[in-house]
Amino acid sequence: MDIISVVSAKGGVGKSTLTANLAVALRTRGYSVLAVDTDPQNSLHFHFSFRLKSDQGLVHAAHSDHSVQHLISPTPAGVDLLAYGHCTESQRADFEHVLNRSPDWLVRSLHNLQPRYDLILLDTPPGASSYLAQALSASTLVAGVTLADAGSYVTLPQLQSLVDTYCLPQRHFKGFGIIVNQVDQNKPLNRDVVSMVRASFGESVMGLIHLDQAVSEALAYGQDLFQYAPHSEAARDIAVCADWINRALSVVKVA
């Protein structure tokens, strides 16, 4: 079982959208996939369907006698979902206390699901946090999401530092890739930022996701992109990123 964290150093880059649609793209490649929402915003489920229940989730597992397996729901796309769950501020604070006290809580909880899933994708909150630290430490691969703008580009060193801190010491870690999201090739600044990202990360650039109205329309209809517009430009771009992940997972890390 491999764990893939979708991360960013700043919010508003489309991370949850990409997590959901990458999960669907990987499901169509034959993987059994679980998408996990580790963000207290608890919004990942909207990218699969408005009808999914998200009241119970990860936040409740820390104080439950049951494993996280009992909190998982199926989605119309064939991807299973573990929501963050609705909670009070007190419950959230208690959960974060558990994460701070037990740095391996997440990986231990997910390890129990190993016979059931080939891949687990983690949607994470932006920036440094106990959630991100747990997700990165558990990860086989990390997909860093950035926009093609200056404000996002300057955060990439911070993201690289977090990966170096939490991922590189792990024997199971296979790599870090970058996805540039919402790219408008008609804008010179977008093209310049893409060029700089390629120069900095080379073959670790997983792909570019072009700005595509179909992405926001799919969310408005409560569908994943591959259900709503499977032949859209963004769907093709996300498929390219899924292929990058497929290749990266085949690499065996030599100790």
The reported pLDDT for the residue numbered 251 is 62
Q: What are phi and psi of 200, to 5 degrees?
A: -80, -35
The reported pLDDT for the residue numbered 52 is 82
pTM above 0.75, yes or no: yes
Q: What is the pLDDT of residues 47-80, one digit of tens each?
A: 998 888 778 899 998 877 667 888 999 999 999 9
Whole-number Å distance between alpha carbons of 211 and 37: 24
Q: Which residue(s) pair with 142 in the sheet?
A: 5, 176
The reported pLDDT for the residue numbered 222 is 92
Q: What is the pLDDT of residues 218-254, one digit of tens each?
A: 999 999 999 999 999 999 999 999 999 999 998 654 4
Q: What is the pLDDT of residues 120-158, one digit of tens each?
A: 999 999 999 999 999 999 999 999 999 999 999 999 999
Which has the closest alpha carbon to 105: 117, 97, 115, 116? 97
The reported pLDDT for the residue numbered 63 is 76
The reported pLDDT for the residue numbered 54 is 75
Rounded mean pLDDT of the chain? 93
pLDDT band at 255, cuts 50/70/90?
A: very low
The reported pLDDT for the residue numbered 64 is 72
The reported pLDDT for the residue numbered 81 is 97
Whole-number Å distance between alpha carbons of 25 and 44: 16
For the chain, percent of residues with pLDDT exceeding 70? 97
192 C-beta neighbours (distance < 10 Å), count? 13
Which residues, other chains included, contact 18 with Cβ-Cβ below 8 Å and sequence gap of 6+? Answer: 6, 143, 145, 179, 181, 209, 238, 241
Higher pLDDT: 255 or 244? It is 244
The reported pLDDT for the residue numbered 65 is 61
Q: What is the pLDDT of residues 167-209, one digit of tens each?
A: 999 999 999 999 999 999 999 999 999 999 999 999 999 999 9
Which has the closest alpha carbon to 215: 194, 204, 199, 230? 230
Which residues, other chains included, contact 132 with Cβ-Cβ below 8 Å and sequence gap of 6+? Answer: 5, 7, 124, 125, 162, 166
Cα–Cα–Cα angle for 91, 8, 215, rounded to 5 degrees: 95
Domains assigned to the chain: 2-249 (3.40.50.300)
Which residues, other chains included, contact 54 with Cβ-Cβ below 8 Å and sequence gap of 6+? Answer: 37, 42, 45, 83, 84, 85, 86
pLDDT at 215 over 50: yes
